[in-house]
A and B are shown apart, each in its own frame.
Chain A
Amino acid sequence: MTVVDAVLTACPFCPCGCGLYLQCDDGKPSGVAPSRHHPISQSRLCARGWGAHEAPAWGERLTEPLVRRAGGLTPVSWGEALDAAVSGLNDVRATGKAVGVLGSARATNEENYLAARLARGGLGTGDLDSCLRGTYLPLARGISRGSGGRAPQGSLVEIEESEVVILFDGDLARSHPRAAFAVMQAVARGARLVTVSCLRTQLARLAATHVRVAPGGQQEVVAGLIASVVEAVAAESMTERRAPEPAAEMAEDVKEAGRWYAQAERASLLVAPEAAVGNSGEALGFALASLSQAAGHLGRAGSVVLPLPVRWNLRGACEMGVGPDVLPGLRPLDDQAALDRLARAWGRPPASPVGRDAAAMLGAVGGLLVVAEDPPSPLRHERAAREAMSQLDCLVVLDAFMTPTVRAAHVVLPIASHAECEGTCTSADGRVQRVRPCASPPGSARPGWLVLAELSARLDLPSQFGSAGEVLAEICHVIPAYQGLDHRALDHGWGAVVAPKSDARPVESFPQVAGAQRAAGDGSYLLTLDGVFDWGSDPLVALAPTLSRDFVSKRKLFAGGFLEMCSEDAEALGVRPGWPLRVKSRHGEATLPVMVRRELEPGLLLVPFAFREQAEGVLGGDDVVAVQATRPAG
């Protein structure tokens, strides 16, 4: 018999897919313990994982439904709140304005699926998205298209067995520690690591070769790698055939890396979300799949092609159909078989127009339903998004935590946090795992799936779900890749892996990420954003006393933001840490204090994603801009 005072659940932070035990004391999550036999985490957890109990216990929790009356949020009964939410959204629709739905990388598969179902089935809108989708799906989609649906492939554990690892690095040690550990293990076992980045990060310091690249230049490196692979493969098979023309001016480090990759039995391509900054994610993904194919690694057991979503269940959210241009299962909107399947399951045909993405929705829709997200925090233009949120006629928010979006809401529906809810999530490598509750939701908060089902029913969308398990049953019914999920593995094992289906029809591209403005040789520096996500704005970190310390202290010290540069550049400019620096681009100028970061390449200035607004005048909406940096007089 099995008896524990703790519950095995999925770690709720990054998408590596670790498992952990949440402990509970006096009804509140109180601690974390690692799982020895979990196939991904294997006794290990990162700092965030060790703090998974904190936000639910220490954060400001929503405990009762609230409706905005006379300017203030007032507690009401669940019935009143649900009615207010539905009539509010219906009123907006009656005026001819659009209504949108935002799912979230912080929500379970069940919550995301029901959000997509509610949008396309209940509200009849294609305005459906999650704020972080653009950082992952284009890349994954490009890889899928370039590989005929055979990739993404491989797991983090397989990376450890690789002979060659090519890492398109953001700063994996910080963003995805378990993945960074896999890379470290591979190196410790003798693998050659190639890092491609504008930062000489911790992992870059362990690399056999570090390929310096300007932000946005990753795709050129991939092209170089492909050329080198082709050359290496040709040299190997060359007998009577003519030798290929040597690739012109290929950098020696790239050439060597390509050779290693081509010759390895098992090799990994690992892509951090930051790699897509300044690139077209989809084109980069396509090129990566081509690289894998050229070297013969595509579809080979033990070889890995893996893009890493930036936040927990981002892959799951996308696969549940939370996107303006996809149906559940990432099927295209004109996939008649998928539409028929959904219509049968939902009891009504899904609306299949292409909708707006999260950023475009704000400012265009009159009503918005938000599930477990503070949309302006992850969006590129935070201030504009915040402003647009405040202009909405009806904002309905489901969340476990108090966020700025909740404060702006017209209807607040309190839901269970990851520590109190049932459901599933999907990791970067496609492992679907159970999320299990270790405590009851505070106050009268309810499971998110239940609230979404009740909202759906009030919108006349048949939603007879008695449990999260019944929602999963419908997911497994309508999404082919989830059809074969082994429920025994979900319940008693460590989750079940959703394998890439080679018969999957690739989804056509929409909407495109605009190509970044590249430096034209006029500027002495390139200014770019550091990362695509700020953990400090995520409630699970921001509301956790131990995890938030670093972020909080930086924000307190530099409320106005800062720039980072390497020490050589700081010396050349005559600035010291904390001193102001004026940066000027074709868009405008700004003066910000400087911090010195060893890991940066010379000629590069970084703005932490958290402070993107403070540098917006200079960035002008671009990811990368050429700037002149000077020390202000006086």
Chain B
Amino acid sequence: MEPVTAQVLAKDRVGEWIERLMAEAEVIAPVLAHGGDEVFAPIRSPGEVLWEFTNPVHPPKRFLLPQTDPVVAIRRGDNGYELEAIVDERRRVLLNVRSCDVAGLAFLQHVHAADLPDRSYLERAAATTIVCLSCPDPCPLGFCICSGAGPFAREGYDLQLSDIGDLLLAEIGSERGGELLAATDGFFRPATLAEMAQRQQLEEKAKQLLSEQTCHFASAMRRVSTGRVAEDLWRKMSDWCLECGACNFVCPTCFCFSVKDRHNGDGWLRCRTWDSCQYPAFTLEASGHNPREERRDRIKRRFFHKVSAQYYQRDGMVGCVGCGRCVEVCLGTTDMPAVVAAIRKGEWHG
């Protein structure tokens, strides 16, 4: 899709622009943590923001869907228990989010807005501005091109920045993105045709660099959706999984949770907490029965949810944005590309 509008900002004025953003909202961006670890964190000054970095292993999803998320305060009142919804409307700017994570946030938005709208998530999301930084140099483990989630974002962002030399080119992806530029009088000017062409070249080059990466969702989807994956394949794979749940936790599209009450003074906080479909007790029923007692059944379930036609139709995309994080964190060898390849070929080599 051709960018509708674009403006440019001189790089030496980026700091001033970020300061403007910080005055209005909490700005969250990739920064360096201990020993050179890249993490998304609230910044205290524009100088901390990373512009050339490997995408943090922990996705920005936690700022919209925290691992521990208090959603209801419960108190003993005169007339029994009193409940109060906890709403987080803090204004946030997610800065320098990669296209894979933009696609992930769009996926989560879709999921939480559908059927029974999830107010807790949606209000947080409504107060969050997403500024994407496109990927001219794709990361070594990523395969975003296979799920249409990168290396440049097509939708789901408010602004998308591209590095074109001395300038940052900003594409406007939403009304809010437009307002964000309008409010920063003097920083930005409209992009020239040459600058627009430069950005197009970056995208073409990045796509070429990614062409080696393959994760054949379509053929895996055919097999998974028509029950053409041998049970024995799931069994073999399951011996290479240590059920750590990391694939769920770092996945930009995973959102499963548990609900637990925590003591808080005289009352309780009802919290939504991250959970993993790979944990044995995830589906444990009160009777003691567990429909997915075996690990092979849990792995099968995970990939059915990720790549089956049923969920593709419901969610509009496979449940994978190709960020490659599951490859990086897997305490085993059952990451998305490995399992998709195994499903497609009907073989598992560990």
With known contacts A44-B246, A546-B275, A187–B350 Cβ distance under 8 A: yes
A-B contact pairs, 26 of them (CB 8 A): A1-B48, A2-B34, A3-B44, A4-B31, A4-B33, A4-B41, A5-B41, A8-B37, A21-B33, A30-B67, A31-B67, A34-B58, A34-B250, A36-B54, A38-B37, A44-B331, A46-B331, A47-B245, A50-B249, A58-B262, A177-B331, A181-B242, A202-B239, A206-B239, A546-B275, A549-B281
A21 with B288: CB separation less than 8 A = no
Q: Which residues of A contact B350 (CB under 8 A)?
A: 187-188, 206
What B residues does A556 contact at CB under 8 A?
288
Distance of A464 from chain B, by nearest CB (Å) = 31
- Check if B62 sits within 8 Å of A6, measured CB to CB: no
The answer to the question of B317 belonging to the interface, with a C-beta cut-off of 8 Å to chain A, is no
Q: How far is the CA of A547 from the CA of B320 in the complex (A)?
A: 26
Contacts of B239 in A (CB 8 A): 202, 205-206
| Alpha-carbon gap, A35 to B250, bound state (A) | 12
**CB-contact partner of B31 in A2, A45, A47, under 8 A:** A2
CB neighbours of B48 from chain A (8 A): 1, 3
User: Which residues of the partner chain A approach B62 to less than 8 Å between Cβ atoms?
Assistant: 23, 31, 33
Is there an interface contact between A545 and B258, defined as CB atoms closer than 8 Å? yes
B residues contacting A by CB (< 8 A) are 31-39, 41-45, 47-48, 54, 56-58, 62, 66-68, 239-240, 242-246, 249-250, 258, 260, 262, 273-276, 279-281, 284, 288, 328-333, 350
* B331-A2 in contact (CB<8A): no
State in angstroms the CA–CA spacing of A47 and B275 once bound together: 10
Let me know if A180 is at the binding interface, CB within 8 A: yes
Q: How far is the CA of A556 from the CA of B285 in the complex (A)?
A: 13
| B330 and chain A: residue at smallest CB distance | A44
Residues in B neighbouring A49, C-beta threshold 8 A: 244
* Interface core residue of A35, A38, A57 (most chain B CB under 10 Å): A35
Q: Tell me which residues from 158 to 186 in chain A have a Cβ below 8 Å from any Cβ of chain B.
A: 173, 177-178, 180-181, 184
Supposing A32-B67, A44-B244, A46-B244 touch, asked if A3 and B329 sit within 8 A by C-beta, the answer is no
Q: CB < 8 Å: which of B54, B66, B242, B281 contacts A180?
A: B242
| Interchain CB contact (< 8 A) of B284 among A2, A173, A177, A549 | A549
Across the A-B interface, the 3 shortest Cβ-Cβ residue pairs: A31-B67, A549-B281, A8-B34
Q: In the bound complex, what is the Cα–Cα distance between A551 and B125 (angstroms)?
A: 36
List 11 extra interface pairs beyond A31-B68, A47-B243, CB under 8 A. A2-B32, A3-B48, A4-B34, A34-B58, A36-B328, A37-B36, A46-B331, A173-B242, A177-B331, A180-B242, A181-B332
A369-B54 Cα distance, complex, nearest whole Å: 49
Inter-subunit contact A33/B331 (CB<8 Å): no
CA of A4 to CA of B38 in the docked complex: distance in angstroms?
10
Binding site for B on A (CB under 8 A): 1-6, 8, 21, 23, 25, 30-38, 43-47, 49-50, 53, 57-58, 173, 177-178, 180-181, 184, 187-188, 202, 205-206, 492-494, 545-546, 549-550, 553, 556-557
Complex CA distance for A377 and B244, rounded to whole angstroms: 25
Q: Hey, which chain B residues are within 8 Å of A4, CB to CB?
A: 31, 33-34, 39, 41
Q: Is the CB of A35 within 8 A of B37?
A: yes
Chain B residues contacting A6 (CB-CB under 8 Å) are 33, 39, 41
Chain A min CB distance to B33 (Å): 4
Please report the number of residue pairs spanning A and B whose Cβ atoms sit closer than 8 angstroms.
144
| Residues of chain A contacted by B38 (CB below 8 angstroms) | 36
Give the residues in chain B near A177, CB-CB below 8 Å.
Answer: 242, 244, 331
Among residues of B, the one whose C-beta sits closest to the C-beta of A203 is B239
A599 CB, nearest partner CB in chain B, Å = 11
Give the CA-CA distance A493 to B275 in the complex, in Å: 31
Most buried by A among B68, B281, B284, B330: B68
Q: In the complex where A1-B48, A45-B246 touch, is A33 in contact with B39 (Cβ < 8 A)?
A: yes
A34 in contact with B44 (CB, 8 Å): no
Q: In the docked arrangement, what's the CA distance between A184 and B243, Å?
A: 13
Rounded to whole Å, the gap between the CB of A504 and the closest CB of chain B is 31
A206 to chain B, nearest CB (A): 6
> Nearest Cβ in chain A — how far from B176, in angstroms?
25
Q: Which of A184, A492, A556 has the most chain B CB within a 10 Å cutoff?
A: A184
> Which of B31, B245, B284, B328 contacts A3 (CB under 8 A)?
B31
A45 to B245: give the CA distance in the assembly, Å: 9
How long is the Cα–Cα vector from A49 to B33 in the complex, in angstroms? 19
A545 contacts which chain B residues (CB < 8 A)? 258, 260, 273
Out of A2, A35, A50, A188, name the residue touching B244 (CB < 8 Å). A50
Residue numbers in B under 8 Å from A178 (CB-CB): 331
Contact B41 A3 (CB under 8 A): yes
Write the chain A residue with the least CB distance to B36.
A37
Question: In whole angstroms, how far apart are the Cα atoms of A44 and B273 in the complex?
Answer: 20
The answer to whether A47 and B279 touch across the interface, beta carbons within 8 angstroms, is yes
B298 to A: closest C-beta gap in Å: 12
In the bound complex, residues from chain B placing their C-beta under 8 Å from that of A492 are 35
Cross-chain contact of A546 among B35, B44, B240, B279 (Cβ < 8 A): B279
**Chain A residues in 8 Å Cβ range of B31:** 2-4
Give the contacting residue for A34; candidates B246, B279, B288; CB below 8 A.
Answer: B246
Q: Which residues of A contact B330 (CB under 8 A)?
A: 44
**How far, in Å, is B37 (CB) from chain A's closest CB?**
5
Residue from A34, A38, A44 with most neighbouring chain B CB atoms (10 Å): A34
Contact of B35 among A32, A37, A187 (CB under 8 A): A37
What residues of chain B lie closer than 8 Å to A58, measured between beta carbons?
A: 260, 262
Q: Which residues of A contact B57 (CB under 8 A)?
A: 33-34, 36, 43
What residues on B are CB-neighbors of A32 within 8 Å?
67
- A47-B244, A205-B239 known; A494 and B41 CB under 8 Å? no
Which of B54, B258, B262, B281: most chain A Cβ within 10 A? B281
A25 to B240, CA, bound (A): 35
Which residue of A is nearest B239, CB measured? Answer: A205
Closest residue of chain A to B262 (Cβ to Cβ) is: A58
B258 touches A546 (CB 8 A): yes
Report the bound CA distance from A21 to B331 in whole Å: 17
A57-B68 contact, Cβ under 8 Å, with A43-B329, A177-B331, A494-B35: yes
Cβ-defined contact, A33 with B58, below 8 A: yes
A46-B242, A549-B281 known; A31-B331 Cβ under 8 A: no
- Residues A21 and B39 in contact, CB atoms below 8 Å apart: yes
| Shortest Cβ gap from A557 to chain B (Å) | 5
Chain A residue nearest to B45 in the complex (CB): A1
Quick one: given A1-B47, A32-B67, are A184 and B333 in contact (CB under 8 Å)? yes
Q: Which residues of A contact B37 (CB under 8 A)?
A: 8, 21, 35-38
Complex contact A8–B33 (CB within 8 A) = yes
